[in-house]
Amino acid sequence: MSFQNPVFIPGPTNMPEVLRKAVDMPTLDHRSPLFGQILHPALAGVKKVLKSETATIFVFPSTGTGGWETALTNTLSAGDKVLAARNGMFSQRWIDMCQRHGLKVEIVETPWGAGLPADRYEEILTDDKGHEIKVVLATHNETATGVRSDIKAVRRALDAANHPAMLFVDGVSSIGSMDFRMDEWGVDIAVTGSQKGFMLPAGLAIVGFSPKAMAALETAKLPRTFFDVRDMAKGYANNAYPYTPAVGLLNGLKMASDMLLAEGLENVFARHHRIASGVRAAVDAWGLKLCAQSPDLYSDTVSAIRTPEGFNATSIVTRAADAYGVAFGVGLGEVAGKVFRIGHLGSLTDVMMLSGIATVEMVMVDLGLDIKLGSGVAAAQQVYRTSLPAAAKAAA
């Protein structure tokens, strides 16, 4: 693998040099006022990226998985009931975590490639007359299948059923890259990590709590120590952590939030959509299909691409790494060997993406697939040159 080539995996993503340098900083006393000058701007920046006026932000030395555990253990008690759909690897992992914590999970089995079944959620919630369901789990962007679900529709289902359950959303591969509206969508806990849209190394679990979720702290009885947000809140009030923080990563998070906000969130989302549209045009030119069942489900951060029946899709990833030094994502779980994944999120441009598309074409031809060299590149080029950002068009 070559460090000179960009990666095209769904995370960790490519790091801008300025963020790499922000993380690489001298040691400072994390109990000094200087740390507060890093911590509080980082929290404020995340809050803006989540499009929230009311959320309380917590950042733990962990990953998105730790964010899931933070959400569950701070708001629920053993035996509480949770509603979740299983439509991919990461929704399954959150369900598994619930079960390991002694929670009862009502699982809506959903095909891999389909989105969250908001209509079925509404039926189940309407039938739950005793309001036993305490939380609805939703994976905004299922990284294994390249499926983006409609979180607003899930909120409508809760409201239509007049149900008081909280809404927890896994936004690990969406937040910072695709539109996410915590307040508008009535999200009670949003979970993400540092290594995707924030363009940093893995190492931070980033979690936003609504006022309703904060109130649930008072009744939650699941054990928590490292992930106890009450301890974290007390630390923040004193410009500190309850234990040693990842100072460099927090400094990077501060700068990453500033970069996203300076570009303009709508511009960030438009850039990701444009890059993803080029990838999808290439897939179509190759005569292949996405795992996502319909265009309304297409993710703007990762495309899971189905290969012909009987062909091992993992060989594309292996060949790309061995022959060309370029990383793509393998299929996971039920779609292992059936899809390969192109990540197109974080620090990425049209020109960088063209190199990834060209590499995939070479690999598929190497492996004997009926692909014409240049077909996908040409299709993506057409998308990129005809959908330039306004500033680029003005310069032309």
pLDDT (average), residues 165-188: 98
The Cα–Cα gap between 261 and 328 comes to 28
Task: Examine the pLDDT at 394 and tell me if it is beyond 70.
Answer: no
Level-2 CATH architecture, domain 17-262:
3-Layer(aba) Sandwich (3.40)
Give pLDDT, residue 66. Answer: 98
User: Which pair of tokens denotes residue 172?
Assistant: 């690990």
What is the rounded CA–CA span in Å between residue 267 and residue 122? 34
Give the torsion through C-alpha atoms of 352, 353, 356, 360, to 10 deg: -160
Q: Using pLDDT thresholds of 50, 70 and 90, give the confidence band for residue 390.
A: low
Res. 200: pLDDT tops 80: yes
Domain spanning 264-395: which superfamily?
Aspartate Aminotransferase, domain 1 (3.90.1150.10)
pLDDT tens sequence across 345-374:
999 999 999 999 999 999 999 999 999 999
- Check pLDDT > 90 for residue 136: yes
d(CA 138, CA 118): 10
Bridge-partner residues for 329, per DSSP?
Answer: 341
17-262 and 264-395 have identical folds: no
The percent of the chain in helix, strand and coil, each rounded to the nearest 5, is 45, 15, 40
Query: What pTM, to 2 d.p., does this model score?
Result: 0.96
Q: How far is CA 121 from CA 3, 159, 295, 306, in A?
A: 45, 11, 22, 29
Q: Where are the domains of the chain?
A: 17-262, 264-395
| Mean pLDDT calculated for residue range 235-253 | 96
pLDDT digits (tens, 9 = 90+) for 75-116: 999 999 999 999 999 999 999 999 999 999 999 999 999 999
Residue indicated by tokens 């679900």? 149
pLDDT value at position 391?
54
